A and B are shown apart, each in its own frame.
Chain A
Amino acid sequence: MSSVPNPATPLHLAVALDGAGWHPAAWREPDSRADELFTARYWTDLVAEAEAGLLDFVTIEDALGLQSTGFDRIDDRIDQVRGRLDAVLIAARVAPSTRHIGLIPTATVTHTEPFHVSKAIATLDYVSLGRAGWRAQISRPVDNAHFGRREQPAFTFADLGKPEAVAAVAETFAEARDFVEVVRRLWDSWEDHAEIRDAATGRFIDRDKLHYIDFVGPRFRVRGPSIVPRPPQGQPLVTVLAHDTVPYRLGADSADVVYVTPRDHDHARDIVTEIRAEQRLAGRESQTVHVFGDVVVVLDESTTAARERKARLDDLDGAEYASDALVFTGTAVELADLLQDWQHAGLTGYRLRPAALPHDLRAITRELIPELQRRGVFRTSYDAGSLRSRLGLPRPANRYAAPAPAAAAS
């Protein structure tokens, strides 16, 4: 790992898919396919487009609660997209019709079982032949009632500074960290080649290569091993979105990719510095942890056209669209400049959030990518290989495997 990237280092680029796009009025665009959001074809078409653009991976947003305008309430709006399909299953549905692009669905950690998430993502890795990842996400407190079993106070956004809320957030992130740890241990709970099919001894597996993980934590305990053999990548990619120190720490401790939301170059540099420091504290300085900048993009042929389109969408929605991430309006060339600039601040890649689908996705694949290729900072074809290898991550050794014996004299 180096915190000062070589500017010639190729960029990594992902797109974040969500509904009709990230702008709440995106579904009203003339080319939107808002009536197809709950069909397989919609998703296979989008991911095929992203793959045609040679992107590293797509992420698919999800949550165990309905979309709303605020983090702490459920509104009754009928003029925005509401409703979503399970992201892991969308990714699995898309996998057989794609060949190269990474597939990173969101799955919640707060109310779910690490055993289930672990086997689902491992299976996605099998059906995609080594292209799976996972965005681990914490639930909004407002969704607790969907599960009805958490005592945690349903604090609101305004309460976030208060001690109870701070404690609840810390607790939820501690749980998330344990959750990721369990998922990762389960992925290692079978060593590679545990299946031996030894007809002579009648053994299908070598049981010495299977391991109980025996995780015990304050929230849950899990024995293992997994029911799914170790996935093709060994460890599918773990990714998290982070906006503050506590989540940065989760990313630095547990993730392979951390998505962050810088406002500008300096902010990007500060965030990267903080995450690298956390990474050292976590003892992971020798490992690659990518820091990807999230940017919402409204891309058009001219800056004016992009601004006007955003203004039109804002009008339709009745409010100026703001996001946790920077909302970029402009041309592909301008965006390429920004991406290269922030790369100098230490970001290793980007997760672009198309404001409107399919328009802004096409602008990424058909204008931004060729521009970056012209500049020599983006691939011109896919290499064979797993998602991990594309991101420069080695296939990890299995934590439970005995170290390979020193090479014996031949």
Chain B
Amino acid sequence: MSKPHKQIILGAYLGGVNHHTLWSDPEAGSQIDFASFRHAAQTAERGRFDFFFLAEGLALRERLGLIFDQDVVGRPDTLPVLAALAAVTEHLGLIGTINATFNEPYELARQLSSLDHLSGGRAGWNVVTSFDAFTGANFRRADFLHRDERYTRAGEFLAAARELWDSWAADAVAADREAGVFLRDAKAGEFAFDGAQFDISGRFTTPRSPQGRPVILQAGVSPQGRDFAAGGADAIFSPYHRLDEAQEFYRDIRARAARLGRPADAVKLLPHASFVLGESEADAIERHRDITRRQIGGRTAQILLETVWNRDLSGYDPDGPLPDVDPDPEGPPVIRGRARIAEDAHRRVAEWRALAEAESYSLRDLAIHVFGRTEFVGTPEQVADRIDTFVQQDGSDGFILGSHLTPTGLDEFVDKVVPLLQERGSLRTDYTGTTLRDNLGLPYPNAHPDVQPNVQPDTTRVA
């Protein structure tokens, strides 16, 4: 018996605070104005995407103590943008990345539930924990939480949020005028949650939302992150694009989910990806080379390598060899807001040196190779084929797609690649359900028992 044909899940994001967005392109639009978000979301809906996705950062990046000015800086607030997009789309899911470290369950749970109500059941939350402790300087409770506790807090946060979302029965609101009964249950919304991070109780203000609970995504791949996702998330925003790596991750998450008592396919895997199309393969490769070289100019190349070297590399020639100094992971941070995992900096640099030697890479060539990856480069036919193959071979369940151009970059994907995926039977030609859960094939949350994420602190990672 052959495997059933998988339907590809597609999310769309608007390029933002990173070096991928070509802000200086003559066609580039605003990163802030609502019109940009509306255009991108409506394009995604035209292409029958499952959802629109927003990333988040809660502090402006810095380099050597100065606010970063090199690539896109600034973004609007996630939830109001998504609520406004609910007004200009009908089916598209609306997923926001929101940090569990610098929010409170009562407030965030009601915001997400409100978004679910206001969008008719299209809300989702990508739970992140953030490794940039300096973000705490913008918040009351500053850095009251140590790095190792963040997933513990995130796990408790999600458990508390579920307690709140479940605190109103789906039929609690009667609104029966004749009988004078607004609430069927005098205790609707009553909750109590007592954990190491949160000891809260009272009455929740927001009735159960159309999806019961918003869809939960997680982004993060450490062992704690994996357990957190396997135990409690509906999907993972993952970074793996090489088929073998991705398949291994896919198997690992399925095994963890099964171990935690959930159906093996309960967690959908969605790597982020971007694409460059061309009339011919050679044309696409040429466009890709041009785009990548604009994304990673000499200055950006130095800065990207600084995130691992943790040294000021501005004195090194981008077209020359790799810096001849060792990384300095213990030094004061050169980059804040996008630092890499420091603990394996020495090993990483050693690998890069070997690679640069083998390939005769300059500093900038290396940065392009490491940070400039665009996953799908080719003709629309080639890109459709590669996306489909990756999904059908269990590299993932779909992709979260972005582009180097805001806000129109997704247009050509929707115009040229989507019809091909539809022809292959791998992508719906119309929306079937009304909620994001429906579209993702996720059950209404009462349908399976909950698993509390049981996350052990991992002490091997350094912020």
CB under 8 Å from chain A, chain B span 101-116: 102-104, 106-107, 110-111, 113-115
B107 engages A82 (CB within 8 Å) = no
Q: A residues within 8 A CB of B73?
A: 195, 204-205, 210
Q: How far is the CA of A30 from the CA of B114 in the complex (A)?
A: 26
Which partner residue on chain B sits nearest A87 by CB separation? Answer: B114
Q: B residues within 8 A CB of A91?
A: 80
A222 engages B206 (CB within 8 Å) = no
Q: How far is the CA of A111 from the CA of B83 in the complex (A)?
A: 22
Which partner residue on chain B sits nearest A25 by CB separation? Answer: B180
B120 engages A123 (CB within 8 Å) = no
Check if A356 is an interface residue, CB within 8 A of chain B. Answer: no
B67 engages A225 (CB within 8 Å) = yes
A83 engages B80 (CB within 8 Å) = no
A80 engages B182 (CB within 8 Å) = yes
A119 engages B76 (CB within 8 Å) = yes
Check if B201 is an interface residue, CB within 8 A of chain A. Answer: yes
B74 engages A229 (CB within 8 Å) = yes
Q: B residues within 8 A CB of A122?
A: 76-77
Q: Which of A37, A63, A123, A210 has the most CB of B within 10 A?
A: A123
Q: How far is the CA of A67 from the CA of B189 in the complex (A)?
A: 12
B202 engages A145 (CB within 8 Å) = yes
Q: How far is the CA of A28 from the CA of B34 in the complex (A)?
A: 38
B289 to chain A, nearest CB (A): 19
B182 engages A27 (CB within 8 Å) = yes
Q: A92-B84, A145-B202 are in contact. Are A83 and B207 (CB under 8 A)?
A: yes
B69 engages A204 (CB within 8 Å) = yes
B460 to chain A, nearest CB (A): 30
Q: Which of B111, B119, B297, B300 has the most CB of A within 10 A?
A: B111
- Across the interface, B186 reaches (CB within 8 A) one of A32, A76, A83, namely A76
- Across the interface, B180 reaches (CB within 8 A) one of A28, A32, A120, namely A28
B288 to chain A, nearest CB (A): 21
B88 engages A96 (CB within 8 Å) = yes
- Across the interface, A228 reaches (CB within 8 A) one of B68, B71, B77, namely B77
Q: How far is the CA of A44 from the CA of B23 in the complex (A)?
A: 35
B163 to chain A, nearest CB (A): 12
Q: B residues within 8 A CB of A297?
A: none
Check if B142 is an interface residue, CB within 8 A of chain A. Answer: yes
Query: Which of B132-140, B227-235, B275-283 lies at the interface?
Result: B132-140
Check if B5 is an interface residue, CB within 8 A of chain A. Answer: no
B202 to chain A, nearest CB (A): 5
Query: Which of B57-65, B374-382, B385-393, B395-403 lies at the interface?
Result: B57-65
Q: Which of B182, B184, B200 has the most CB of A within 10 A?
A: B182
B86 engages A219 (CB within 8 Å) = no
Q: B residues within 8 A CB of A97?
A: 87
Check if B421 is an interface residue, CB within 8 A of chain A. Answer: no
Check if B151 is an interface residue, CB within 8 A of chain A. Answer: no
Check if B24 is an interface residue, CB within 8 A of chain A. Answer: yes
B186 engages A147 (CB within 8 Å) = no
B249 to chain A, nearest CB (A): 30
Q: A residues within 8 A CB of B182?
A: 27, 34, 78-82
Check if B341 is an interface residue, CB within 8 A of chain A. Answer: no
Check if A384 is an interface residue, CB within 8 A of chain B. Answer: no
A to B CB contacts below 8 Å, 21 in the list: A40-B86, A66-B204, A74-B202, A78-B184, A82-B183, A84-B206, A93-B86, A111-B107, A127-B34, A129-B34, A146-B201, A148-B198, A195-B74, A202-B297, A220-B140, A221-B142, A222-B139, A222-B140, A227-B57, A227-B77, A228-B76
| A-B interface, 7 closest residue pairs, ranked by CB to CB distance from nearest | A92-B83, A86-B114, A92-B80, A220-B140, A76-B186, A123-B77, A199-B24
Query: A-side interface residues toward B, CB under 8 Å?
Result: 27-30, 32, 34-35, 37-40, 43-44, 63-67, 74, 76-86, 88-97, 111-113, 115-116, 119-120, 122-124, 126-127, 129, 143, 145-148, 190, 195, 197, 199, 202-207, 210, 219-225, 227-229, 316
